[in-house]
Structure 1
Amino acid sequence: MDGKPLNVSNGAELAGKSGLVRCREEDTGHLQREQELRNGKFIGQERMFDREGRLLRERTVNERGNSHGRVAEFWPNGQVRREETADNGRTQGAVRRFDATGRGERVSFHGEGQELFHVEYNSKGQPTRLLCPRSSVLPEDRKLCGFNGATDTELYAESGARSAQLRYDQGRLLSATEWSSDGVVSAQQLVVDGRRVHKSFYTEGGKSVLREERVFTPDDRTLRDTRGQLFSARRYGASGQPIEQRGFADGREVQVERWYLNGSLRERSTVSGSGKDARQLREMYRDDGKLARREQLNADQWRVGTQQAFHENGRLATEEQYSTPDARGRTRLTARKQWDESGKLIADDTILEDGSRQRKAAGTDS
């Protein structure tokens, strides 16, 4: 400091001193660090350099040792690499990042303890990623985020190929379409009747084929948020036909339908009641559309009431009766009847508590 050597690790040597401390590489003499000293404490300007003595970073430090004010990083050629404003160590306001030629790579804005806005650019200067704020915070968000009126903003990959199209109005995302590297639609998000609708696709024969559709109940979440209560969900097969549909109420799954690839119904399940009183009725079908089995389950997935199985000709094959649930929700088989394909009763059993059966005399046609 002031041309005189100083041991910065020795607090006694720093006590009461003020000035600019410069640290140099012993062998080369290149400047490595500059720090402002105020009454024995490093407060004020701080500059860091690389091994060749080129400026890497500069900032202002407060009495707590935290960045306060402008913080900047530099490329070896002297161009600004990144700059921001800090408030007692916390990033506050605009943050800008540049490449070595001075071209902007990323602009963001921080407030309320989080990043509220960002836009990133590829080497062609096209936007590649975008997060919009609820209200305008920087000139860069005005057009992109629809603060000058509803607008369609396109995003691009590093190659320059279109990767997404986003429709914004006053910072609110209204719809989004994404494309894969092959140029086919891979995902869509939109709002229908106040509900967020998320669609995902896969590529088949160079074309985009709908794979899944998820519909959320109305809420205040942003369009791209994948959380929240579902209203319905549907999956599709390779040719676009539905293979599964699920319905929800208050966040609970209350209805399921599944189909074979030939279009025939495979399964239908509905839930009634709630809590321990909930009951599920499930029906399974063969690929020709005929009912194969009907069963009922309680909230703990124990069989309750009547369970039925059917022959391929549609006649009843088996009917089982289950007890009412005990205190733990468990049930047990109490009776079973069986019929042949002609409808003739061939077995009528009472099932005892130890699992043994007590057969009644065979009856006639049912």
Structure 2
Amino acid sequence: MRAPSVMRLVLLSVPLCSAPAWAIERCSFQGKPINLDNGNSTAKLTGTVRCVDEDTKKETHTVSFKNGKQDGWEVRRWSDGRAVEQEYKAGKRHGGFKRYEDGRLVETSHYVDDNEQGESLRYHPNGKVSRRVDRQPEDEKSTYEDYDETGRLTKAGCGLRSSWEAGLKDCVWKGPSPLVFFHPNGQKRAVIPLKNGRRDGVTELFDKDGQRTATHAYAAGVLDGVSTRYAAGKALTSTTWVQGQREGDETEFFNDGGKKQVVTWKDRQQVKRVEYFQNGERKHELVVTGDRAVESYFEDDGSLRERRNLLKGDFHNGFDPDGVTEAFFPDGGTERREHYVKGKAEGRRQVWAENGTLVEDSQWTKDRVTTRKRWNPDGGLVEDEAFHEDGSRKKK
């Protein structure tokens, strides 16, 4: 009499599958029961173990061994049409991989020495490829391509962890030029001219309604020339690039097309920034020369309101007042003049009334006032004080 087969209560589930189902498996090798969960049972095994569902008697699992290690195909099948097939060599995943849902092939891949490597494919329900990956040991040499259900390319690039779109830098596209990406509705998302597999010329980007959203000039796969962003057919920003670095003017526009801000770049540094009123007059200007800068504020009629001399901060990336700061009345007369050293008031501070009368004259040390005189606009003295380090007035 044949001995009864060993039963296995198995939770049938694989990644990316729906809710698991319970089943009892009976596994055997050459007609004899075997327990796949017991390593001693398979320690010297060569051949194929087959498992069936106790109720349906349908084959649910086959595992091939050689000298006690998995070698060949392992196949798992579920009653709902799911299945997974994995090839092994000397106990490691090595070779093909296939995954099915509802009896339909949804994914194929390839393994080398227990690591996924080479081409893998995923499929849409209609059988067309949805994603193609060529996985290489060096991630930056891996490539990917995504397609919609009609076979139109939606995305492609290099690197699966830190991704670069096709044609950028060293991500060479082996397909035809121009490289075209599509939105889900079939509208072109990007039209990318190529030369030797790298972006070269003006790339155009579009939204799902066909409106142009940007243009980028490239040379040998890096930004080189003018890049412009658009909204409702009007330019929002325009940036000049040289060999992948911003160099020259970066301009932001008002909706009416007028300049809103212009930032000038040189050697990766901002050397000038000008903000404008919508009437075209300057609003704010910062001009940088090495570690120093001059900052100016203007009224909307173009008159200068304030000018500050600045020095790059010791402990931050911004600038601090250093030197003379002056404020002006609308007629150009001086309203205030003060002196700073590395962000702190140091030296003389003077304030004038609109009629030109001096109304304050004070001395400062390390951001605190030491002496101060104040007058009425008609010239009458109203204050003449000296101060201690704690800010209290010295007694006369």
**Alignment TM-score, normalising by the size of structure 2:** 0.70
Deviation sequence 1:266-285 (CA, Å, 0-9, x none):
21001369869983321122
**2:133 alignment counterpart:** 84
Determine if contact 2:97/2:108 at 8 Å carries over to the other structure: yes
TM-fit CA distance, 1:87: 1.6
Q: Show structure 2 runs of 5+ residues with no match.
A: 1-26, 43-64, 168-178
TM-fit CA distance, 1:232: 1.0
Determine if contact 1:197/1:213 at 8 Å carries over to the other structure: yes
- Rg comparison, structure with higher value: 2
**2:387 alignment counterpart:** 351
1:186 is aligned to 2:236: yes
**2:325 alignment counterpart:** 282
Q: Give, in whole Å, the separation in 2 of the partners of 1:177 and 1:17.
A: 58
SS for the counterpart of 1:208 is coil
Return closer, same or farther for 1:253/1:78 CA change in 2, 3 Å cut-off. Answer: farther
Q: Give, in whole Å, the separation in 2 of the partners of 1:320 and 1:99.
A: 73
Deviation sequence 1:86-108 (CA, Å, 0-9, x none):
12483624322111111111222
Q: Give, in whole Å, the separation in 1 of the partners of 2:37 and 2:106.
A: 23
Deviation sequence 1:1-51 (CA, Å, 0-9, x none):
xx97897766554533422221111x34x241011122333221111122x
Higher alpha-carbon deviation: 279-288 or 302-311: 279-288
Deviation sequence 1:305-358 (CA, Å, 0-9, x none):
0001110112211010123xxxxxx35322212233344555443334562245
Determine if contact 2:252/2:262 at 8 Å carries over to the other structure: yes
Determine if contact 1:22/1:31 at 8 Å carries over to the other structure: no
1:305 is aligned to 2:347: yes
**1:102 alignment counterpart:** 151
Structure with greater strand share of residues: 2
1:267 is aligned to 2:267: no
- Which amino acid is the alignment partner of residue 362 of structure 2? E
Choose which of 319, 332, 336 in structure 2 pairs with 1:293: 336
Question: What pairs with 1:149-164 in structure 2 (closer than 5 Å)?
Answer: 151-164=201-214
Q: Show structure 1 runs of 5+ residues with no match.
A: 219-227, 324-329, 360-366
Instruction: Give the percent of matched residue pairs that are identical in Structure 1 and Structure 2.
Output: 22
Report the number of matched residues. Answer: 319
- Which amino acid is the alignment partner of residue 126 of structure 1? K
- Which amino acid is the alignment partner of residue 335 of structure 1? T
SS for the counterpart of 2:69 is coil
**1:201 alignment counterpart:** 253
**2:286 alignment counterpart:** 246
Deviation sequence 1:209-240 (CA, Å, 0-9, x none):
3222111222xxxxxxxxx4211111112223
Return closer, same or farther for 1:196/1:130 CA change in 2, 3 Å cut-off. Answer: farther
**2:372 alignment counterpart:** 336
SS for the counterpart of 1:261 is coil
**1:363 alignment counterpart:** none
Determine if contact 1:231/1:247 at 8 Å carries over to the other structure: yes
Q: Give, in whole Å, the separation in 2 of the partners of 1:8 and 1:61.
A: 23
1:128 is aligned to 2:190: yes
Return closer, same or farther for 1:343/1:273 CA change in 2, 3 Å cut-off. Answer: farther
Return closer, same or farther for 1:357/1:107 CA change in 2, 3 Å cut-off. Answer: same
Q: Give, in whole Å, the separation in 1 of the partners of 2:36 and 2:69.
A: 13
Return closer, same or farther for 1:352/1:45 CA change in 2, 3 Å cut-off. Answer: closer
Q: Give, in whole Å, the separation in 2 of the partners of 1:89 and 1:282.
A: 56
Determine if contact 1:31/1:53 at 8 Å carries over to the other structure: yes
**Alignment TM-score, normalising by the size of structure 1:** 0.75
Q: Give, in whole Å, the separation in 1 of the partners of 2:362 and 2:187.
A: 70
Return closer, same or farther for 1:273/1:318 CA change in 2, 3 Å cut-off. Answer: same
Return closer, same or farther for 1:274/1:62 CA change in 2, 3 Å cut-off. Answer: closer
Return closer, same or farther for 1:358/1:262 CA change in 2, 3 Å cut-off. Answer: farther
Choose which of 20, 43, 46 in structure 1 pairs with 2:73: 20
Choose which of 82, 97, 107 in structure 2 pairs with 1:57: 107
Q: Give, in whole Å, the separation in 2 of the partners of 1:11 and 1:91.
A: 39
TM-fit CA distance, 1:77: 1.3
1:44 is aligned to 2:95: yes
SS for the counterpart of 2:126 is coil
Q: Give, in whole Å, the separation in 1 of the partners of 2:92 and 2:388.
A: 88
SS for the counterpart of 1:258 is strand
Determine if contact 1:117/1:131 at 8 Å carries over to the other structure: no
Return closer, same or farther for 1:111/1:72 CA change in 2, 3 Å cut-off. Answer: closer
